[in-house]
């Protein structure tokens, strides 16, 4: 296995417990053996790691989520009853997942409703099921799997996605780094819009000083015609007429 360290633990070196070893350690720890308890916890960290991977947590948050998963593991150990007749992993998995979900839900800086988060986890589970069948987990297929609208799938995934910086590197080769911002287009500064701004500026320059002031107060400062009339010293009717004339002249000059 490739070496991956989480919380200072080399996950490739985590031990594997056989069913017999697991049962023996469980009996001993329930009898109060602290060393057996520690060995059992370490021996089940692979289970926690496999569950953490389901959530596809970014590397920056993997340590925290792994620790939360271990808390769920310890709670499962304390609450497990050997007389019930089920495997420990069967009992522990939902408790570990529940602990991780609570952490992700309560610790997110963006408050998202419980129903949306529940939908998001269903989406993640559906995606996992599709991938396990070697199918491409598209939005359409996930929606069909859950029998919901595609927009609900998209909305749920967006709700639990962490915001990233536009300066986040998305490609790096031979020292040439491509940032996310390099992949974004600026729809507000296209050649057509720039040309329109130049034409508008030229048309504004052909207006009289009072007409330019009225348009500036009206459309840049958001003042009403009554407020402008008091500032300029003319009637509201005159402001209205000058505004309309100025706009008509601009349209004629641009066209």
| CATH code at position 165 | 1.10.10.10
Where is pLDDT greater, at 27 or 116? 27
d(CA 121, CA 136): 18
Domain end, chosen from 56, 81, 107, is at 107
Is 71:101 a contact under the CB 8 Å cutoff?
no
Whether the pLDDT of residue 108 is over 60: the answer is no
Question: Do 7 and 76 belong to one domain?
Answer: yes
Q: How confident is the model over 158-169, as a mean pLDDT?
A: 62
- In sequence order, the 6+-apart residues with CB closer than 8 A to the CB of 211 are 242, 243, 245, 246, 249
- In a shared domain, residues 81 and 135: no
- Number of domains the chain is built from: 3
Per-residue pLDDT, averaged over 194-207, amounts to: 73
pTM, two decimals, is 0.42
Residues 36 and 99 grouped into a single domain: yes
169 φ, ψ (degrees, to nearest 5): -70, 130
pLDDT category at 24 given cuts 50, 70, 90 is very high
85 pLDDT more than 60: yes
Contact 78, 98 (CB under 8 A): no
Task: Provide mean pLDDT across the span 236-241.
Answer: 88
Position 59 confidence tier, pLDDT thresholds 50, 70, 90: very low
Residue where one domain finishes, among candidates 57, 74, 107? 107
């Amino acid at each position: 296995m490739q070496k991956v360290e989480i919380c200072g633990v080399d996950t490739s070196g985590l031990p594997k417990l056989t069913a017999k070893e697991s049962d023996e350690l469980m009996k001993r720890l329930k009898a109060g053996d602290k060393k057996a308890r520690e060995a059992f916890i370490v021996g089940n960290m692979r289970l926690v790691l496999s569950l953490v991977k389901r959530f596809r947590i970014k590397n920056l948050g993997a340590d925290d989520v792994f620790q939360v998963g271990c808390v769920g593991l310890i709670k499962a150990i304390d609450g497990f009853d050997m007389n019930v007749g089920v495997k420990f992993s069967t009992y522990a998995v939902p408790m570990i997942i529940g602990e991780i979900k609570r952490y992700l839900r309560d610790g997110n800086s963006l408050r998202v409703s419980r129903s949306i988060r529940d939908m998001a986890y269903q989406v993640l589970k559906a995606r996992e099921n599709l991938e396990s069948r070697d199918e491409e987990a598209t939005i359409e297929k996930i929606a069909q799997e859950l029998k919901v609208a595609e927009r609900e799938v998209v909305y749920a995934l967006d709700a639990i996605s962490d915001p990233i910086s536009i300066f986040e590197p998305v490609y790096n080769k031979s020292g040439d780094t491509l940032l996310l911002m390099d992949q974004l287009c600026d729809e507000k500064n296209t050649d057509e819009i720039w040309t329109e701004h130049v034409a508008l500026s030229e048309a504004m320059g052909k207006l009289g000083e009072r007409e330019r002031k009225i348009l500036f107060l009206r459309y840049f400062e958001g003042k009403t015609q009554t407020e402008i009339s008091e500032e300029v010293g003319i009637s509201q009717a005159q402001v209205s007429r000058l505004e309309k004339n100025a706009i008509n002249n601009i349209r004629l000059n641009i066209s």
